Chain A
Amino acid sequence: MKTIHKIAAGAFAMSALSGAASAQATATGTGAGSVTVVQPITISAGTGLAFGRISKPATAGTVTVDIGGGQTLGGGASKVGAQTTTAASFIVTGDGAQTFSISPDATFSMTTTASGGTAITVSTVASASSGSLGGTTGTTGTAPFTVGGTMSLAAAQVAGAYSGTFHVVVAYN
């Protein structure tokens, strides 16, 4: 009798082990059922950020293009002739009525192929740190925003055409 008792106890222990394994698989399946699916957020770039035509400065200066595309000159910077300046423009598309954050690169460089040219550093400013998509939840909404910037010209800045790229990340809040 004593011997049979011991064997039964061993069988219970085995059963408890396999029960633990099956409980783990069940928990995983339940979690997947409560996810809300929204449209992915996308962003497309429109116009670029254009600072215009600036005379090679005698002393260091700055050129600012605001979020509306307006140009302001500082220090030794002076413009040359009629200016075509634009803020960079973007359109965000995603699930209607959602809000999102806007994060441009804080700074980036513009470079030139002109001989002896050194990079121009640009600091950016977005029209807002967050935006709100139009429309209602479940439909597609869009929202525009712009990015301006300030470029720093050195006194010894080499004349030439300068260009650079920067990134903007948008994310659902």
Chain B
Amino acid sequence: MGLSLKFIVAAALGLAGPAMAQTVGSTATATAVATASVIQPISVTKTTDLAFGSFVRPATGANTVTISSTTGARSLTGGGNAALANSTTSRAAFTVGGEGAQTFSIALPPTVNMTRSGGTETLPVTLSASGPSGALNGSVGGNGTATFGVGGTLPLTSTVVGGSYSGAFDVTVGYN
């Protein structure tokens, strides 16, 4: 009896072996990799406003006052007899923050109107950025910063109403 029992157990094991192999052959598993990069959001902050300063309008002819987007220097061109007055002038300046070593685009409206304080008269300013794009310093995985400037041109004629003019414009930066 003891011997017979052993034989039956051995036979059952032998059967279980092939049955297990069949199960493995009817299913298969693969492993795949998933990835994503989350990077620092981009931000832009104004550090200086665009200031054209003071000037005397031309009695005859027309002039253009320009503030350089790269240096902030002010210049007067054109055939009129306008004159620049001593005053504080500046280009607009912006600081961009974001993921290090990334490049970004700079967008701004081509023109913006300045309105006379206490009145409704407007002066159109044509805006220009120091570049169409910029690059953040630092390296990927860390924070980076960059700066850029915005200048503009302002037409002056003999009919410009005297006064103080101001306006506002938005700049937009976006990762490339």
Contact = CB atoms under 8 A, between A and B. Distances in A.
B37 A168 contact: no
A81 B176 contact: yes
A54 B26 contact: no
Interface stretch (A3-11, A55-63, A134-142): A55-63
Given A50-B35, A163-B34, A56 B41 contact: yes
A146 B116 CA distance: 63
A40 B24 contact: yes
Best-buried of B4, B30, B34, B102 by chain A (most CB within 10 Å)? B34
Contacts of B34: 48-51, 88, 108, 110, 122, 149, 163-166
B30 A45 contact: yes
Size bracket, chain A contacts:
35 or more
A153 B38 contact: yes
Contacts of B33: 48-49, 88, 163-165
Interface string A24-57: 1100100010010011111111001111111111
Contacts of A57: 41
Contacts of A122: 34
Given A42-B28, A90-B30, A114 B141 contact: yes
A148 to B, nearest CB: 10
B35 A48 contact: yes
A43 B28 contact: yes
Contacts, number: 139
B175 interface: yes
27 contacts: A44-B30, A45-B32, A48-B34, A48-B35, A49-B33, A49-B35, A50-B34, A51-B34, A51-B35, A52-B37, A54-B39, A80-B39, A81-B102, A81-B176, A122-B34, A149-B34, A159-B141, A160-B38, A163-B34, A165-B32, A165-B33, A168-B30, A168-B32, A169-B29, A170-B28, A170-B30, A172-B27
Interface of A: 21, 24-25, 28, 32, 35, 38-45, 48-58, 63, 80-82, 88, 90, 92, 108, 110, 112, 114, 120, 122, 147, 149, 151, 153, 157-172
Interface of B: 4, 7-8, 11, 15, 22, 24-42, 99, 102, 141, 175-176
